[in-house]
Amino acid sequence: MHLAQSFCVRFVVQVTLLFGSLGSAQAADEAALSEKAVSYKLTVGQYQLSGGGSPAGSGLDVNLRATGSFGNAWLGWYGSASQDIKQLRAGWDSSYKLGPVRFMPSLQIASGGFVGGSAMVETGDTWFAGAGLGRTNLRNYANLNFDPNDAWMLSGGYRWADNHFLALQVVRDNRENPDQQNVHVVYRAPVNGNASDRLTLDLLQKKGFVGGLPINRLGLSVGYDWPRYFVRAAWDPQVNFTSQDMLRLSAGVRF
């Protein structure tokens, strides 16, 4: 991983993983777990880089998120001795219903002078579709979201009941690296008939140029949620369109 303009801003989604409809659905799920005015989510992640003819490296990510009537606000820190990176970051996102449309803005800042943001609109409940745009000031930022940042995004999918959905999402750079594109197919389903126990699969297809050569690679993220705890594992080849592959392991707690 490297610090450069190719690192991207967090879109409306947390997350793993995702933007817009998927991110807002996750926030609603977590808010429903608690009767408190504000609920919290603590995530710790270990990231391991390898391959590409470069030395192996690792990084530690710690993120605390608060969810309430204000939306989602979070504070994070990423550090990697092997990469000589230490960065504090903070962000906010929310969702506003405007008739048949949901408007979802986000803002993000980080040490080193980075500022970024995004805006997305989405419509539909059972069947849904959305579009968004992200922009930054192109300052150095350790991207831990792994999609192009200064980019447009399209998404669509189908929701069943009980936190069950299938979605397709396309994210393509439209600023400095317009060849870079990620396509996600995301499936989330309750387990054993329990809506609070759920499995999430995110199949990633990425294409673009790395070192002047075209790539077309597949990655996969798998997550499992219990009512309070959760775990995630992801394999991301040529992460952020660099020469190295990344294995990500993370776990967390809601309180």
* Range(s) of the domain holding residue 44: 20-254
Cα radius of gyration rounded to whole Å, the chain: 17
Confidence of residue 183 (pLDDT cuts 50, 70, 90): very high
Are the C-beta atoms of residues 208 and 215 closer than 8 Å to each other? yes
Instruction: Examine residue 109 and state whether it is found in any structural domain, yes or no.
Output: yes
> What is residue 138's predicted lDDT score, i.e. its pLDDT?
93
Q: Which residue has the tokens 């803005």?
A: 105
Instruction: Examine residue 105 and state whether it is found in any structural domain, yes or no.
Output: yes
Instruction: Examine residue 144 and state whether it is found in any structural domain, yes or no.
Output: yes
> Of all residues in the chain, what percent carry a pLDDT higher than 90?
76
Are the C-beta atoms of residues 66 and 74 closer than 8 Å to each other? yes
pLDDT(34) > 90: no
Instruction: Examine residue 187 and state whether it is found in any structural domain, yes or no.
Output: yes
Cβ-Cβ contacts under 8 Å for 247 (sequence gap 6 or more): 47, 48, 50, 233, 234, 235, 236
**pTM listed for this prediction:** 0.86
> What is residue 35's predicted lDDT score, i.e. its pLDDT?
59
> What is residue 36's predicted lDDT score, i.e. its pLDDT?
74
> Could you tell me the CATH number of the domain that includes residue 39?
2.40.160
Cα separation, 48 vs 39, whole angstroms: 30
Confidence of residue 154 (pLDDT cuts 50, 70, 90): very high
pLDDT(14) > 80: no
pLDDT(203) > 60: yes
Domains in the chain, number: 1
Cα separation, 176 vs 179, whole angstroms: 9
pLDDT(170) > 80: yes
Q: β-strand 101-110 against 85-93: which pairing, if any?
A: antiparallel
